[in-house]
Amino acid sequence: MEAKRVKQILSSAADIEVKYNGVSVWIDQLNEDGRTATVHLRGPLEERSTVEINELIEG
């Protein structure tokens, strides 16, 4: 995924599914380096991880 699309998803009111390693995640923020994002799993666990945005897949 590109940084521009991450920003669009973050600003959207829609529920846009994003997957990381086949698991559905919420994007919390695009990090300042523009290459990584902070995400957490959808569901009760809110453990946050920093991941490379090129590993995020929409849909």
pLDDT at 36: 98
Give the predicted TM-score (pTM) of the model.
Answer: 0.88
The fraction of the chain above a pLDDT of 90, given in percent, is 86
> DSSP string covering the chain, please?
--HHHHHHHHH-SS---EEETTEEEEEEEE-TTSSEEEEEESSS---EEEEEGGGEEE-
Residue 49 confidence class, pLDDT cut points 50, 70, 90? very high
pLDDT at 8: 98
Average pLDDT over residues 2-22: 96
Domain borders along the chain are 3-58
Tens digit of pLDDT for each residue in 18-45?
Answer: 999 999 999 999 999 999 999 999 877 7
